[in-house]
Structure 1
Amino acid sequence: MINGYLASFLLALLVTSTIVTSSDHLDAEIRWHLKRLNKPALTSIKSPDGDIIDCVPITKQPALDHPLLKNHSIQMRPSSRPKGTSTGNKDPLNNKKEPKAITQLWHLNGKCPENTVPIRRTRKEDFQRATDIENYGKKSQNSIPKPQSGSSTIGHEHAVMYSYGDYYGTKAWINLWKPLVEKPNEFSLAQLWVVAGSGSDINTIEVGWQVYPRFYGDNNPRLFIYWTSDGYQRTGCYNHLCSGFVQTNNDIAIGGSFRVASNYKDAQYVIILLVWKDPTSGNWWLDINGKDIGYWPASLFTHLSDKARLIEWGGEIVDDRSRGQHTYTQMGSGHFAEEGFGKSSFIMHIETVDGSNTYREPGTLGVISAYQNCYNVKYGDGDSSMGTHFYFGGPGRNPNCP
């Protein structure tokens, strides 16, 4: 009997020791990642949503840790901007006036000094919410809409329009909403994709807004960026969670919350996104509401070091299907495309940039909408003040989307 008690005690001791060792290892791994990601800041700003924005010296930002950028000289501004008459010069939402400057919640409590860049601090709880620390901040390989099949990939559902061609950029006004996301591991977003290559060799640059509770810890709509040069396998990440995107702007925090969102049958808000290839440096620059934010160096890419062959615009959600039923997660406003302006989500003033760095109307637009009873997409209604545009979105689970 004593031996039995002794065996039970030793087993319990072994299990406890294993748990402690495992926990210590996890904590050590998290601390290593936090030290790698969070650069020393000149000053820090506490946002009302709980974020901490670190104002990091521009020459110490995470991007410059990339092996290909070891001796990189920061390009402080693009050599030139796309030429021509952009259809996105006037705002049909605000009596034809110029759009208001983008505002994020952290702006209420301060701003970053010159020669610094605002970096959203990564914290221990961010990793604790993650299911895979090693791949924290990375998308799955199912993320990109696939025009060839006309459908979405497993777990990812899209309502997207796309165009093939030789492209050197795109500009679009994307409607900003705060959709319901049913489960923490699901997300809802609206974005543009700049794409070259295919399969495991695909290159993408992605920009937009998203609601992603597990990743950010709340249900706020947030600005995000993403890139990959190998089909989401080893390269690329969200925001600044890996080295690559070089930020030059001290006012916009990638990953930061927006202060406002559109309301059904009421005020409509947009973010104006422009991604284009600098003709001189070859870097891919990002402009938000007329502000140069930074760039993806051409050296990060294989196919995109030359040009894009595909551009996509639209919405995406993740449905984990854990209960065998479709998610209630909304796309955009949570209303179908046919409801139109003020009710459905829209992307308007869609333009592309050609090889002479000139704005052009996009070519023929194709559609990807595999789950049309859940989320759909519809061409614009001919309102010339909105340029080339379309509506998209939906409520997710409903009687026709079980």
Structure 2
Amino acid sequence: MSSCYILSFTLLLCLLSSPSSFSASPPNSTAETDILRPLKEIQKLKLIRKQLQKINKPAIKTIQSSDGDTIDCVPSHNQPAFDNPLLQGQRPMDPPDMPKGYSQENESHENFQLWSLTGEFCPEGTIPIRRTTEQDMLRASSVRRFGRKIRRVRRDSSSNGHEHAVGYVSGSQYYGAKASINVWTPRVNSQYEFSLSQIWIIAGSFADDLNTIEAGWQISPELYGDTYPRFFTYWTSDAYQTTGCYNLLCSGFVQTNNRIAIGAAISPVSSYKGGQFDISLLIWKDPKHGHWWLQFGSGTLVGYWPVSLFTHLKEHGNMVQFGGEIVNTRPGGSHTSTQMGSGHFAGEGFGKASYFRNLQMVDWDNTLIPISNLRVLADHPNCYDIRGGVNRVWGNYFYYGGPGKNSKCP
């Protein structure tokens, strides 16, 4: 790749230095456009390399993953979060008190990523960061917005091709949420679509001041260059306009764990009529300092979103959502065949449909409590649907998902 740019740049210099270079063509001709194109490509590559210097921090150890990822072990005080002017000079906070009522029974094990299956982890005092490459950024629709969601979201609309099947609660004050999320490898139709399953903590309005905290798993060929399900985080404080990003691709989320790489591939995954695998996630607001912490599985703290990042979420959330989301670009004028969840409808049940189980909330007293007023909603139930329930083992749960394009979803 780089040699092509060097060749183009050399050719450009030769053409510009020759008096007769443009003599055969008038201004703004096709020939002049062809000459200027390599210059734009060179400028884009320079911008990419400048961005990569911000994202990829010097590592004291590097680990190669079987899926092709490079994991850099970066000193925790040098991570991207501390580039934020609001956080400069700080160091990661000490762990907070767990919510009352939290139990580690039946939780997932923390060794759930491909890069760590060999048993190799980053040293204490460092955090694992998935290295971002030039190829990652060249796939992006916008270099300057790399790692960010492109659109302004509305919960009551599937505009811009985003479709949901979610369980949600609203109308109260929410200080966190917990769920176990079934992991699959749904088919994604194109590079410009994705499929994800996550928890949203939401405050503000669905206009310019929306605050969200998000975590779950996603398949995004544009962001990662493959179709592995990957553990991810996201945040915004202005409805996805100028703030926030996926994972550690901007200054924001502070990671404290040396064994989990945000953005790394998840393993194992569930199989149709076979073994089922889920990841347990807990997001809650530390009553003492106000930061929003993220925990995976059996007591493994991943890190936190500093309270200073937010406006409405400085206090609490006013809505929590659980569920799936896909992007539908309507290829060929019809609905996408990108799958949500397992790619099968909720009615197929356990072992076939994807699920969320043990849904809980964190209340004002930092206590985990069952959800009593869960509502479910599917934007296009003939494409992706959802069915809720309650039982003694799973507590509040729902099945959700679907195949996308089918005879009832043209």
TM-score normalised by L of structure 2: 0.90
Which of 368, 376, 387 matches 1:367? 376
Alpha-carbon distance, 1:23 to partner: 1.3
Alignment match, 1:183: 190
Q: Distance in 1 between matches of 2:108 and 2:24?
A: 74
Q: Distance in 2 between matches of 1:234 and 1:53?
A: 27
Q: Distance in 2 between matches of 1:22 and 1:5?
A: 22
Alpha-carbon distance, 1:13 to partner: 5.3
Contact 2:77 2:90 (8 Å CA) reproduced: no
Which of 328, 350, 353 matches 1:344? 353
> Per-residue displacement from partner, 1:151-207 (whole Å, max 9, x unpaired)?
433300000010012111011000000000011110000000001101210100000
Q: Distance in 2 between matches of 1:400 and 1:300?
A: 43
1:361 partner amino acid: P
Alignment match, 2:58: 40
> Per-residue displacement from partner, 1:228-276 (whole Å, max 9, x unpaired)?
0011110000001110100000000000001211011110001000000
In the alignment, is residue 193 of structure 1 matched against residue 200 of structure 2? yes
The sequence identity of aligned pairs, in percent, is: 48
Q: Distance in 2 between matches of 1:356 and 1:383?
A: 26
Alignment match, 1:378: 387
Contact 2:151 2:160 (8 Å CA) reproduced: no
Matches within 5 A, 1:251-262: 251-262=259-270
Alpha carbons of structure 1 residues 168 and 25: separation in structure 2 relative to 1, 3 Å: same
Alpha carbons of structure 1 residues 278 and 323: separation in structure 2 relative to 1, 3 Å: same
> Per-residue displacement from partner, 1:53-112 (whole Å, max 9, x unpaired)?
10000010000001111232420311x1100265xx543xxxxxx533342111135210
Alignment match, 1:94: none
Which of 174, 180, 184 matches 1:173? 180
Alignment match, 1:25: 43
Q: Distance in 1 between matches of 2:196 and 2:400?
A: 12
Matches within 5 A, 1:114-129: 114-129=124-139
Contact 1:142 1:156 (8 Å CA) reproduced: no
Alpha-carbon distance, 1:113 to partner: 0.4
Q: Distance in 1 between matches of 2:102 and 2:132?
A: 41
Q: Distance in 2 between matches of 1:81 and 1:153?
A: 38
Alignment match, 2:277: 269
- Secondary structure (helix, strand or coil) at the match of 2:380 reads coil
Alignment match, 1:131: 141
Contact 1:236 1:242 (8 Å CA) reproduced: yes
Alpha-carbon distance, 1:309 to partner: 0.7
- Secondary structure (helix, strand or coil) at the match of 2:135 reads helix
> Per-residue displacement from partner, 1:351-390 (whole Å, max 9, x unpaired)?
000111001112311222120000000012x432111101
Contact 2:252 2:305 (8 Å CA) reproduced: yes
- Secondary structure (helix, strand or coil) at the match of 1:128 reads helix
Give the number of aligned pairs: 386
Matches within 5 A, 1:227-246: 227-246=235-254
Contact 1:102 1:271 (8 Å CA) reproduced: no
Which of 99, 119, 136 matches 1:82? 99
Alignment match, 1:280: 288
Contact 1:202 1:228 (8 Å CA) reproduced: yes
Contact 1:62 1:242 (8 Å CA) reproduced: yes
Q: Distance in 2 between matches of 1:66 and 1:222?
A: 25
Alignment match, 2:3: none
Q: Distance in 1 between matches of 2:164 and 2:402?
A: 11
- Secondary structure (helix, strand or coil) at the match of 1:287 reads strand
1:317 partner amino acid: I
Alignment match, 1:313: 322
Contact 2:153 2:239 (8 Å CA) reproduced: no
Which of 36, 52, 71 matches 1:53? 71
TM-score normalised by L of structure 1: 0.92
Alpha carbons of structure 1 residues 11 and 62: separation in structure 2 relative to 1, 3 Å: same
Alignment match, 1:70: 88
Name stretches of at least 5 consecutive residues in structure 1 with no aligned partner: 92-97
